Chains A and B, each alone.
Chain A
Amino acid sequence: MSNYRIQGATGEWEVVIGLEVHAQVTSNAKLFSGAATAFGAEPNAQVSLVDAAMPGMLPVPNRECIRQAVRTGMAIEAQINAWSRFDRKNYFYADLPQGYQISQLYHPLVGEGSLLIEADEKAGIPEDKVIGIERIHVEQDAGKLMHDQHPTMSYVDLNRSGVALMEIVSKPDMRSPAEAGAYLRKLRAILRYVGSCDGNMEEGSMRADVNVSVRKAGEPFGTRTETKNVNSVRFVMQAIEHEAMRQVDVLESGGTVVQETRLFDPGTGTTRTMRSKEDAHDYRYFPDPDLLPLVLEEDFLAECRASLPELPDAKRKRYVEVLGLTPYNARELTAEVETFARFETLLAETAKATGKGEADVATQVANWSLSVAPGVIKALGDEGDPANATASAQASILAMADKAEISGGQAKEIFEIVLKTGRDPAEIAEAEGLKQVSDTGAIEAAVDAIIAANADKVEQYRAGKEALFGFFVGQTMKAMQGKANPQLVNQLLKGKLG
């Protein structure tokens, strides 16, 4: 249970949140036309006759878009509807050439599913929580109006017109901005794992309509408002916070919350009225007569299922149970596609370089990936070129460390040089003398010399002043110019000091 509450004058209020996420389907072509979909093209450069709704043009469903939505549904373990249908949502606007959006109201492609958000004490999520997903349907995006090109006229860019979107509708299961944020991040991760959406919120590939209401504990749901098109996780959390406070203020001052559509202003972090229920459109939904019902064959569904990658929850579990990572590391490493991809590549290379099993080196690779390497890269800043940090270079460093040929400090130093120069780590270790001495004879000689030179301290140590052990280590390391294998030094000192 979330313990997030808004403290009002009349007591505590609970916040109820549902999210409708619009995710652009990764596809080279639009939902019902062959036009391209790349971001950032010249205005109206990616518009087919269908997208511009020329007379007599007809939509034909793009199989790849349907496939991606089905795979997404499977990734949230949702019911896939083998029979679904497209409906027209009718309204007039200059960015909507057909005068209707082809969507799915009555029979969506994907039915109920769910998504797990993990406990995160720091973020205010005390325990794991399952968020219900009501449905996923596919629909066309609209074009874009440009109001800043001319003093009195607006221009229309139809590049986005007809681009395929998945609308992923959650149940009103979230109770805090943190849960909403975690839900969005997890959803984004799943979409990116599956490859059905690039999750790029800045480019508008993913945006959320935020439904918020407040209630006193135990009461039925309050009247909700919908804040449209919020385009970052942080903004979604801000919008919820502001909107919930606003509703509490309204209710506590004796007013009622009006069901309406609101806009979020990222500049002020506040929401404002866009249109009220009275101005709401009557969309006159009806089945699109240009399209037959969408019937999915068993073969198609089987292919969709077979093509799913290992998903975040399964991966996280495997990292802990098979690779022996800490739950924290497992979560960090599986949060983003790039992170786990880099980790798994490095893990494989390191296992190969050391000749050990992945589970045997996983913890070292995880620590390296999550803290050591990022630390060095960050400290080096512009002096280093992250492109030099190839998996094979890093695996080579990790393997040297694993064989105790280099120390942890040397590993960092070598990595620094790799980042700056792109040189081979083994060659660097050799050429720069960045190898630790594991030659027992050399260390033993140094230890013997130190013991001989510090007979008094040896006496005191043997008499029980164990804190002096550090002194002997320090002296030995100094004599070895810091290059001695510390484990060997410890081992030899222990033996000789008795």
Chain B
Amino acid sequence: MTDLTSLGVKDIRDGVAKGDFTAREVAESFNAAVAEAASLNAFIVTTPDHALAAADKVDAARAAGETLGKMAGVPIGMKDLFATHGVQTTAASHILEGFTPRYESTVSQKLWDAGAGMLGKLNLDQFAMGSSNETSYFGNVTSPWKKAGSNAAMSPGGSSGGSSAAVAARIAPAATGTDTGGSIRQPAAFTGICGIKPTYGRCSRWGIVAFASSLDQAGPMARSVEDCAIMLGAMAGFDPKDATSLQMDVPDWEAALSSDLRGKKVGIPREYRMEGTDQAILDSWEQGKAWLKDAGAEIVDVSLPHTKYALPAYYIVAPAEASSNLARYDGVRYGLRDLPDGVGLQDMYAATRAAGFGDEVKRRILIGTYVLSAGFYDAYYTQAQKVRALVARDFARAFEECDVILAPTTPTASFPLGSMNEDPLTMYLNDVFAVPASLAGLPAMSVPATINADGLPLGLQLVGRPFDEQGVLNAGLAIQQRAGFTAKPEKWW
């Protein structure tokens, strides 16, 4: 019998539907794989019973001849930023350690309604702040990939590093991620998997621990474009509980997948040729152009002139929103409370937040507080909002000349854990190609392209017009078919 853990979303769903295997067999296989992979530290908590219960429900529904959901029988990993009813939800922080919601996020509920089950809550950078998964209170996630000739623990990227590691290691066929400034795409690129951030507003933010509300978007991470299309279809949809949710129908992305790009124009933004980008990345970008041309697309040069201001603007807007969003973690109603003897309210706040937040989170709260404070607001926040509007306008103009944009996902491949911690700015630069699409709220995807000389995966990024997830997925599919990316990490865990 096939090793069920080698299967992705589509194959599991179809296999369960056809009766090739039961959902329970799938859940048991993945539960076992998760249990074996503790050394990756991809999960903060595992929930094998949740996966089994969902599987049994699917098997029973199939036996009863009922119509099965889009994700029927697929056990997935849930980034621990999504509130899950009765299951600890921490955002990888100490301040929320032990917090068990009595509610279920809209996106996770939609996945359960579609027949998926939960293998566990995936580790991440604390409050989704980080690009290497080193800021979690529950320890680093280690990538399943190794650099050729080295045994150093590698970064799975971040913030959705538990998700990327789990999917790459085949201990989950797919996982949820969230992307604020690259947190789905960069870890996907680092681990040789696919991940798509849909248009802002496609997926409800209700029940997702907020980082930067105007940027946060949930999306799927899986090993193929098809799997992403299927899972995104289950996650997306209007939610009256989220005032920024898009009131639009969700297209059947899976059904409309096509790698025939004849008549399509692919834009190559010249400003993305930045110093500090690995030659191998630039080479893969060239290769990507060739693949898309082969798929029938016309390649055109486009300009996104404000690209270089995007990252600085992002590091004002996102921390500003975060500094306010994280004010609710104050020790009063839930989560950690540090109340030294005989002190007052202000001291309780200080002690609780000092103990409950990690360094990176504190850094961003401080930056955010600073840029919003009297006398600095106009120079920073207002200015950053203007830049954000210009970045969005750049894209709008570029999309008058092309249908989808092709760019690298990251300037480098994955790096060893601990190697980038000297200067936070170096780490922030990792998201330089990812952040512009976030600021503009556009759908963007990373697909694996190739392996570099060190044996590490490299990803290519596709950015589409607002609401055109289909265009992004189709171009991604064209690359996937031509790249023939079959590399996978050697099991060492």
A: which residues have CB within 8 A of B?
49, 52-61, 88, 90, 92-94, 97-100, 154, 156, 282, 284-286, 289-292
Contact = CB atoms under 8 A, between A and B. Distances in A.
Given A55-B101, A98-B327, A156-B332, A284 B372 contact: yes
13 contacts: A53-B328, A54-B83, A54-B101, A55-B209, A56-B101, A56-B207, A58-B206, A94-B330, A94-B332, A97-B333, A99-B324, A99-B328, A291-B243
A286 B377 contact: yes
B279 interface: no
B404 to A, nearest CB: 27
Interface in B205-227: 205-210, 212-214
A154 B101 CA distance: 25
A83 to B, nearest CB: 16
A61 to B, nearest CB: 7
Given A60-B240, A289-B214, A55 B96 contact: yes
B492 interface: no
A60 B243 contact: yes
B258 interface: no
Q: Which 7 A-B pairs have the closest CB atoms?
A: A99-B327, A289-B214, A284-B372, A289-B213, A53-B328, A56-B207, A55-B209
B345 interface: yes
B1 interface: no
B373 interface: yes
B317 to A, nearest CB: 9
B206 A57 contact: yes
Interface string B369-392: 100111001000100000000000
Nearest to B93: A55
A94 B345 contact: yes
Interface string B172-208: 0000000000000000000000000000000001111
Given A282-B374, A289-B213, A290-B213, A56 B240 contact: no
Contact of B334 (A54, A58, A94): A54
Contacts of A93: 345
Contacts of B278: none
Interface in B320-343: 320-321, 323-324, 326-328, 330, 332-334
Contacts of A291: 243-244
Contact of A61 (B89, B91, B209, B243): B243
Contact of B373 (A52, A97, A284): A284
Contacts of A92: 327, 330, 346, 349
B363 interface: no
A401 B355 CA distance: 81
A330 to B, nearest CB: 46
B241 interface: yes
Given A56-B83, A59-B243, A292-B244, A49 B103 contact: yes
B244 A54 contact: no
B99 interface: yes
A100 B368 CA distance: 14
A284 B369 contact: yes
B330 A88 contact: no
Contact of B324 (A52, A97, A100): A100
B20 to A, nearest CB: 37
A286 B320 contact: yes
Contact of A282 (B214, B330, B373): B373
Contacts of B320: 286
A88 B324 contact: yes
Contacts of A154: 345
B205 to A, nearest CB: 6
A64 B140 CA distance: 48
B373 to A, nearest CB: 5
Given A284-B372, A291-B243, 17 more contacts: A54-B101, A55-B210, A56-B208, A56-B209, A57-B206, A58-B243, A60-B243, A92-B330, A93-B345, A99-B328, A154-B345, A284-B323, A284-B374, A284-B377, A285-B377, A289-B214, A290-B243
A22 B243 CA distance: 26
B105 A56 contact: yes
Nearest to A291: B243
B301 interface: no
Nearest to A158: B333
Contacts of B326: 99
Given A88-B324, A97-B332, A55 B83 contact: yes
Contacts of A99: 324, 326-328, 330
Q: Which of A49, A57, A61, A90 has the most CB of B within 10 A?
A: A57
B242 interface: yes
B326 to A, nearest CB: 8
A282 B349 CA distance: 17
Q: Which of B105, B240, B374 has the most CB of A within 10 A?
A: B374
Nearest to B332: A94
Contacts of A59: 243
Nearest to B213: A289
B361 to A, nearest CB: 14
Contacts of B205: 56, 58
A98 B103 CA distance: 18
Interface string B77-101: 0000011000001010000100101
A49 B323 CA distance: 21
B139 to A, nearest CB: 21
Contacts of A61: 243
Contacts of B327: 90, 92, 98-100
Given A58-B205, A97-B332, A97-B333, A284 B324 contact: yes
B99 A55 contact: yes
A53 B334 CA distance: 10
Contact of A55 (B89, B346, B349): B89
A55 B244 contact: no
Nearest to A49: B103
Nearest to A91: B327
B106 to A, nearest CB: 9
Nearest to A92: B349
A289 B330 contact: no
Contacts of A97: 328, 332-333
A286 B83 contact: no
Contacts of B101: 54-56
A426 to B, nearest CB: 58
Contacts of A100: 324, 327
A409 B151 CA distance: 109
A365 B332 CA distance: 59
A156 B337 CA distance: 15
B333 A286 contact: no
A30 to B, nearest CB: 14
B206 to A, nearest CB: 5
A290 B244 contact: yes
